[in-house]
Structure 1
Amino acid sequence: MIGSSLLMLVLLIVENAGSVVSPVVTFNPDLNKIFTGQSLQMTCDVDSTLQEDITYFWFKNDNWIHSEKTFSIASALSSDSGNYQCQTSASDLSDSTRLEVYNELFSLPTITQSPQLVTEGDHVTLTCHTRLSPHRKTTVLQFAFYREGQNIQEFSSANTYEIPFVKLSDSRDYKCEVQTSDYRIKKASTTTTIQVNRIGERELFNQSETEVTSKPGTSHVITAVAVTSLVLVLFLIITALMFLYRTKQFSLPGDNKPSSKAEFEEPNDETENIYTDLNTNTARWQSFSQNPQEAMKDHVTENHYIVC
């Protein structure tokens, strides 16, 4: 009788032990790879036939961390990566479930402008750049733009902001912001400043830039050539004036020859004087042509004697 009772007890213990079901760890959202800043909730699911008045135990890397049916991570950190298990007072320990938390779902955004040199009336485009993690290429991102801290374009799928006709008053600080569609991760860019120039300042800037980037020494060569040309022109003008002056100073009083031979057949005293002066001037001209300096000296000396 006693032996039969012991056998029945052993069979009951074995039967009860085989009926115990291990719990299962589930994630919400159903992802075991998340990024820093995201939220996650873990649940310890057990057989519903078990009594409700049970205790839950959570373990991370074999260390106890929590004592409720759910375990939540509000803003994930890299240190939240690990192996998670749960157990109840009426069940065995669950299988290990791995959670991976990556540093960035997307890179820190940057904002750029086009064109870089802006003048009144230009069409300016601001672009918000970021890079998604290769693990979540399908993630939907939204972009917003701000000027001096004030929102100028609400969150949308467009990563650009257009200024069709820029004005001087648009010379302000701008930045952009990126967030996930579930609003769990949000990042802002650094600030960029748009400097709008007045009309005409661009041409002045381009002219100055051209002068700075021109070949060294070119302006000096041009100046030397110009000065040399001017000196040569002045020299030619002075030479021509001197030639005209000397030609006028020593020109003969008459170039026409007598029209008939009869005029020379019977010269009178007045005609002889004219011929004498003509011969004298002709001799002077020939002497000047051969040796201008000596001729000038004689001419001056003769005048001097006459005055005296």
Structure 2
Amino acid sequence: MKGFPALKDVTVNKCDEYYKREAQAPKGSLPANTREGSPYPPTLTPYSLVSSVNPPKAVVSLDPPWYRLLEKDNVSLKCLPEGYSTQWWHNGSLISSQSSSYFIKSARVNDSGEYQCQTSSTLRSDPVQLEVHIGWVLLQAVRQVFLKGETIELRCHAWKSKPLHKVSYFQDGRSKKFTHDNAIFHIPKATGQHNGSYFCRGLIGNRNESSGSLNIYIQDLEGPSITPGDLHWHQVTLCLMTGLLFAVDTGLYFLMQRNLRSLMEDWKINKLKWSQSFQLQTTPHAIG
């Protein structure tokens, strides 16, 4: 087509111009296509691709997936996606481990808390809560808050994984499932009716043992998110309100008791005065 140079000539001329610029550039300077004001598009390298996009946030996964453990249990924490120079934090303090997996053998209560990880190619993960309990039986869950429609799985777990049989699961004190072989309590689609306090009970040999309670919360898809921190403050607020009501109730009790005592004393005094007055009116001297 007349009036337009051939594509080959344009490409050759641009390449010649680029190399001439490179030859005239000061030694040790950046390539022309990375210098500010360059008419050439930048060359995409793996480093520039990573640095030009926000790195992903790491995720901590548990294996097995239960965040509630009994003492002596084992659990492996994995940092995903796996990378180099992995760092781990426990309750905000850096852990010496630099492996992509952090293994806790024979867990103890002081292993409880929040865990986070980060690799060279990720941001630090959100905290994952781990709870280590003391007892014979524990009700386990993958987390405490579920979205509507999600699957809920609850497991009745015995200390040192001792066999459990004739296991019952309860919600708000009502029996929901009975199993001879300790099968997992499976709720396929969570709804608001599944909010509540759960516990399990079963036989370890001939011993009938019960777990402590676990509150499960079902969150609406369109509602505000619920975090473990929110649950903590809800529990603190509930405790404070309970203590306040107890204090008010106790104060009212003692106030009523004091007023009642005062009324009783007044009644006794008035009764004595009335009795004395009546006796004076009925004596022979008073009649005469």
TM-score after normalising by structure 1 = 0.34
Tell which structure's C-alpha radius of gyration is larger.
1
Normalised by the length of structure 2, the TM-score is 0.36
